Chains A and B, each alone.
Chain A
Amino acid sequence: MIPRHQTVLFVILLLASVIMGAVLWNQLRRAHERLLRGQDAAPTQAPLVAPAEQATLMVANDADNSVEPRILALPLPQNPEARARAVLGKLLDLYAAPDAGHPVPGGASSIAQVFLVPIAEGGGKASPTSPQLAVVNLTSAFAAGHPSGLETETLTILSICATLNANLPRVTQVRFLVDGQMRATLAGHADLTRTYLAAEMVPTEGAHP
């Protein structure tokens, strides 16, 4: 003989299970309807692309150890950090091309982030017109895939610094991180622990570093 209180408990649990199942079924149906409504509301027009602007890329060439300016029209975002990332991404895309004069695998995805930090001058507070330090965060895949050599690594660093300075003149100093961490060298040679003076990295007459 089953005690009365156990029978009551069983009935209550059974009712609770049925109610919960009904609620879940209802929520699943609502979620499905929401998803269908979302698909209906999907845009049928492509988003507006930023207008093309002139960007100066300082492109390296291993054959004569030079860095030459190349002017391209690129759609650039207004945000300076996104702009810096877009310009450097295009530069690394050129290096990843099969016929590159400075072949480096990786392309645009090798630039994880670019941060622009105002530099306070004379111990005072940084102003909106203060010079900036650019912190370029590279991916570890880029560093691992970069050819090892004094010339090739130096040219990569030089062209990144010069390109930043050419497109964002307030950027006067550049530091490098790899996956957000300090790293001794790019691929065994070029020093990544120092702060590079971007203005001094811009080649002058003859474009030889």
Chain B
Amino acid sequence: MAGKHHRRSLSGSFAALLTLFAFLHASAQAPPAPMPKFVVVLDAAHGGDDPGARLGNQSEKDYTLALSVKLRSLLMARGISVVTTRESGTDVDADRRAEIANRANAAACLNLHAALVYSKGGPAVHLFISSLPPATNATFVPWRTAQSEWIRRSTELAGVLNSALTHAGITVTLGQTALPAIDSMACPAVAIEIAPQHQTDESSKDDEGFEAQVAEALAAALVEWRADGGQFGGQFGDRRP
């Protein structure tokens, strides 16, 4: 009688183990949670009544818009989703730009500028991150200093961009600046100023070549930035430092 009861409890335990094993096996075979989308925000500075700097016969607002369109094509060709803050010559204020970037939950936000080379130097690219002091894990982030939680990631992004541009043979300088458009962005954000020509140089023939070279280098950098996403746990949706 007792042996029969013992056999029954053994077979019950075995069935429970089998069920548990089947459950664990099924869990292991289940498709992994989908990777959050890798989105890049391209913010062409100026627009509307604000032409920005004058570059020969072109205004900064037109130059940055053209660069944004070119870069978007290059990134989309590499399978990267792109959100732009403006698609035409219209003016978009700094808050709206940051709002678009923050809604996109972007992995990288590039604020595009252009200027003349005013001193003796040649064509160059100037990379800037926000000059806000870094902050970590605040419960509520003030709108005007939202970027302060992202300084470390923005610095890393600037490093990747710097490497790619330098590798392409482009002169690069690094710095910090106070720019409302990026100070309110909650994403790794870098302001990129392209200085294609000298103040006294009227020709724009070489500018196009330089612009294309810079766009290619930036696209390559963002592909690398996407690949480096693994170091942040492979979850772009959880990018906060």
Pair B191/A150 contact, Cβ less than 8 Å: yes
Q: List, in ascending order, chain A residues with CB within 8 A of B118's CB.
A: 62, 102-103, 147, 149, 152
Instruction: Flag whether A209 is at the interface (Cβ < 8 A).
Output: yes
Q: Using CB atoms, name the residue of chain A closest to B180.
A: A191
Interface of B is mostly: mixed
- Stretch among B80-88, B119-127, B153-161 lining the A interface: B119-127
Pair B174/A149 contact, Cβ less than 8 Å: no
Q: Using CB atoms, name the residue of chain A closest to B173.
A: A65
CB contact between A188 and one of B46, B117, B133, B177 (< 8 Å): that residue: B46
Among B182-211, those with CB < 8 Å from A are 183, 191, 193, 195, 199
Provide the bound-state CA to CA distance between A157 and B175, in Å. Answer: 13
Pair A65/B126 contact, Cβ less than 8 Å: yes
Pair B178/A150 contact, Cβ less than 8 Å: no
Pair B119/A62 contact, Cβ less than 8 Å: yes
- Stretch among B7-15, B16-24, B48-56, B228-236 lining the A interface: B48-56
Q: List, in ascending order, chain B residues with CB within 8 A of A61's CB.
A: 119
Pair A149/B178 contact, Cβ less than 8 Å: no
CB contact between A148 and one of B52, B120, B121, B173 (< 8 Å): that residue: B52
CB contact between B179 and one of A148, A150, A208 (< 8 Å): that residue: A150
Provide the bound-state CA to CA distance between A101 and B173, in Å. Answer: 15
Instruction: Flag whether B58 is at the interface (Cβ < 8 A).
Output: no
| Nearest chain B CB to A199 CB, angstrom units | 11
Instruction: Flag whether B115 is at the interface (Cβ < 8 A).
Output: yes
Instruction: Flag whether B113 is at the interface (Cβ < 8 A).
Output: yes
| Nearest chain B CB to A192 CB, angstrom units | 9
Q: List, in ascending order, chain B residues with CB within 8 A of A157's CB.
A: 178
Interface of A is mostly: loop
Pair A188/B175 contact, Cβ less than 8 Å: no
Instruction: Flag whether A48 is at the interface (Cβ < 8 A).
Output: no
Among A41-64, those with CB < 8 Å from B are 61-64
Provide the bound-state CA to CA distance between A209 and B177, in Å. Answer: 9
CB contact between B115 and one of A151, A194, A209 (< 8 Å): that residue: A151
CB contact between A149 and one of B116, B121, B175, B176 (< 8 Å): that residue: B116
Pair B115/A154 contact, Cβ less than 8 Å: no
Provide the bound-state CA to CA distance between A158 and B147, in Å. Answer: 20
Provide the bound-state CA to CA distance between A200 and B199, in Å. Answer: 31
Pair B60/A148 contact, Cβ less than 8 Å: yes
5 A-B interface contacts by CB (under 8 A): A100-B119, A148-B53, A149-B193, A154-B176, A190-B178
Which residues of A come within 8 Å of B, CB atoms?
61-65, 100-103, 147-152, 154, 157, 188-191, 193-194, 196, 200, 208-209
Which residues of B come within 8 Å of A, CB atoms?
46, 50, 52-54, 60, 113, 115-121, 126, 128, 131, 133, 173-180, 183, 191, 193, 195, 199
